[in-house]
Amino acid sequence: MDKISVMLNTYNGGQKLVSCLESVKWADEIVVIDSGSSDGSVELIKKYTDNYFHNQWPGYLAQREFGMQRCSGEWILILDQDEYVTEELKGKLLDMCKNPGDYQEYNAGWIRRIEHFWGKQINYGNYNPSSQPRLARRGKCRWTGFAHTWMEVEGGEKKILRIKEPLWHDAYNTPFDYFNKINRYSELDVEERLPKGYNPSLARVIFSPLGMWWKCFIVHKGYRDGAHGYMNATSMMAYWFFRLSKVWHRRWLEKNRPDTWEAYRKKAAKDRDGGS
């Protein structure tokens, strides 16, 4: 029988962290990597596991690798603190552990995620279908990427099991949650794109977000989610604008000197003196 480890990165998780830990307390091992919580999360974590580690935030990629290296199970379930394991998914994972021979050909599992937005489950738009790399056979997978990490699997696509039993994603409960998160993600996206020479034109900054709205609301049928579908599509458009406009601005600063109070005062004084 295989063992399953749950690996969780945390920071000031609050009630979401409680729900996450409650949903995985059946696992053989829970490994939690906290990056400096100050809201009582550490005390909460220690009620569920002795495998607690503090690691100052090194980025998504490094933090996940740090956590996976400390797991001893054959299977590692990688979660964020706002993701909860449903009873259906729990049953599937336990079956995989009890019957290892049935799954020996696989090195990873992509898990379907139930998405919701501003308090309502979203069934259409760009979030769906949402299949996330969340299950790894120990020693057979590694993380890559930057702002949005991705799992590279030994053996490629044929070694990935598509798991239909869902994971609940408790994100974006309010507009504040969403815009706070996309502001942070877009900053990380800038740091990834700049070294690669990315230089979006003004036309791209204008039209690409509009294209994202169309794709989300019309092509992927976001309109079928009603008002929340519209809000979701428009928020995705805002995220696309954030990530492109921030890179555009950084490129603009490389070639231009921003207007300053000091420069304005000097110019105004010169104009008052008749330009002499």
Looking at the structure, tell me whether residues 163 and 194 fall in a common domain.
no
What's the whole-number mean pLDDT along residues 125-150?
85
Q: How confident is the model at residue 53 (pLDDT cuts 50, 70, 90)?
A: very high
Looking at the structure, tell me whether residues 134 and 160 fall in a common domain.
yes
Looking at the structure, tell me whether residues 48 and 113 fall in a common domain.
yes
What's the whole-number mean pLDDT along residues 185-204?
90
Report the mean per-residue pLDDT for the chain. Answer: 92
Task: Give the domain CATH number at 27.
Answer: 3.90.550.10
Question: Nearest to residue 186, comparing CAs of 237, 231, 121?
Answer: 237
Residue 95 vs residue 189, higher pLDDT: 95
Rounded Cα–Cα distance for residues 276 and 269 (Å): 10
Structural domain total, the chain: 2
> What domain range includes position 37?
4-169
Residue 59 vs residue 98, higher pLDDT: 98
Helix-helix angle 226-255:202-214, to 10 degrees = 170
Looking at the structure, tell me whether residues 27 and 113 fall in a common domain.
yes
Looking at the structure, tell me whether residues 153 and 22 fall in a common domain.
yes
Instruction: Please tell me the predicted confidence (pLDDT) of residue 276.
Output: 54
Question: Nearest to residue 10, comparing CAs of 21, 23, 26?
Answer: 21
pLDDT at 182 over 60: yes
pLDDT tens digits, one per residue of 61-88: 889 999 999 999 999 999 999 999 999 9
pLDDT at 275 over 80: no
Strands 120-122 and 4-10, by their bridges, are unpaired
Looking at the structure, tell me whether residues 148 and 225 fall in a common domain.
no
> What are the Cα distances from residue 138, in Å, to 40, 52, 75, 116?
31, 19, 6, 30
- What value, to the nearest 5°, has the Cα angle with vertex 189 and ends 185 and 195? 155
**Is 101 a member of any domain?**
yes
**How many Cβ atoms sit within 10 Å of the Cβ of residue 197?**
7
**How many Cβ atoms sit within 10 Å of the Cβ of residue 87?**
9
Looking at the structure, tell me whether residues 102 and 163 fall in a common domain.
yes
Looking at the structure, tell me whether residues 217 and 124 fall in a common domain.
no
Instruction: Please tell me the predicted confidence (pLDDT) of residue 83.
Output: 95
pTM for the whole structure: 0.85
